[in-house]
Amino acid sequence: MKEIAKGNIKMLLLSLTGACNLGCKYCYADSYNENMMTFDIAKKAIALVQAQSNDFIIQFSGGEPLLNINLIRTISQHIKDNNIKAKMQIQTNGTLLTAENIDFLVKEKIAIGISIDGNQKIHDEQRPFRDNSSSFKKIMAGLEILKNKKINVGITCVVTKNNVNFLEKLVMLSYYWGNIKKIGFDLIRGQGRGSKISKPTEQELKTGLTKAFSLGEKFKAITGSKIIFAQLNKVEKLQNKELIGFSHCHAMNGAAIYVDVDGKIYACASLLGQNEYLIGDVEQGIDLAKQEAIKNKLELILKKCFSCHYFSNCGGACFARWIGCGDESEQELECCLKITAIDCYQQER
């Protein structure tokens, strides 16, 4: 078995299935394997990381991971039975957050992240069910259950030209519900179905984000309750030296692995299916030399980040976005997002 460097892996992303019950207009992964991951593959992936890392995060992803909730149940029991020091989290589209599923996730202390793109009109335009019907109402029903149980969640919003002028409404919605405590903004990727969806301009993005961040500050002053914006929180950690260098995500530093349904291991979820970034499998382990080579290659690809005076407060770009899209405008938009966050953070302080 090819080994992972001791203590290096901080996050294990398990793709429990490529199947999904939504038909998101911008999905960059519309040709995923719709099979279900088996417990055997999940167990081997966990063992691979556990052997080299004392404490790590397991994130359940997909597709829609709750379509394979039986595997989540089995993994959770396995974690407890074997005293594995791993925190669990799930990124879900929110439509399967029934009372039963929520009770299980809460009982097992699995942190919940939900994808919401705006109010009902905006969200349903971008993230409908496959038959084009509304998914928003289902998500709100789940949020209501979570709210009644006093369970806090985080949300992720994919920013497109369609919703960039309505990001403030998402902040309003979050304060209205009261149990949404973190908001992250993710730019649309020009891959898969996303290649047919219009991106916002840099000015639209800057304006939309600035208004959203500003409204968050106003609501905090009025209510005394704070919603964390992922982008502002990243800037704060970089300024406080809690993070250094390329810190866009754990994958940037070779500290994350993504395991697909069949047990193949990639450097990043967004590079699924690209053999150049396939670094092993759960049977043979990780090719550490290839992982390091990819890390070095990524730093070369992002070399312009080193010469940017924002770098120390930015953490660098998303290499998967730059590699996967092959469109310079993708890079410019991401830089705009991060620079806007830095400028807003500094103005607020």
Q: Is 123:135 a contact under the CB 8 Å cutoff? A: yes
Tokens of 168: 């403030």
Give the DSSP per-residue string, 203-268. Answer: HHHHHHHHHHHHHHHHHHHHHS--PEEHHHHHHHHHHTTSS-SS-SSGGGGT-EEEE-TTSEEES-
In the chain, where are the structural domains located? 11-348
C-alpha closest to that of 182 among 89, 291, 297: 89
Contacts of 235-244 with CB under 8 Å at 24 or more apart are: 235/313, 235/314, 235/341, 235/342, 235/345, 236/345, 238/312, 238/313, 238/314, 238/315, 239/313, 239/345, 243/315
Residue with tokens 């789940």, as numbered in its chain:
142
What's the CA gap between 64 and 41, in Å, rounded? 18
Q: State the chain's maximal CA–CA distance in angstroms.
A: 56
Q: What is the pLDDT of residue 1?
A: 40
Q: What is the pLDDT of residue 5?
A: 46
CB atoms within 10 A of CB 161: 14
Q: How many CA atoms, within 13 angstroms, populate the side-chain half-sphere of residue 273?
A: 11
Architecture of domain 11-348: Alpha-Beta Barrel (3.20)
Q: What is the pLDDT of residue 32?
A: 63
Q: Tell me the per-residue pLDDT of 2-49, one tens digit each, with 9 for 90 and over.
A: 444 444 788 999 999 999 999 999 887 655 668 999 999 999 999 999
Pairing of strands 285-286, 278-281: antiparallel
Chunked into runs of 10 residues, the chain (349 residues) has average pLDDT values of 58 95 84 85 96 92 96 98 97 98 98 97 96 97 96 97 96 95 91 79 98 97 95 91 69 79 89 83 89 75 79 80 61 91 90
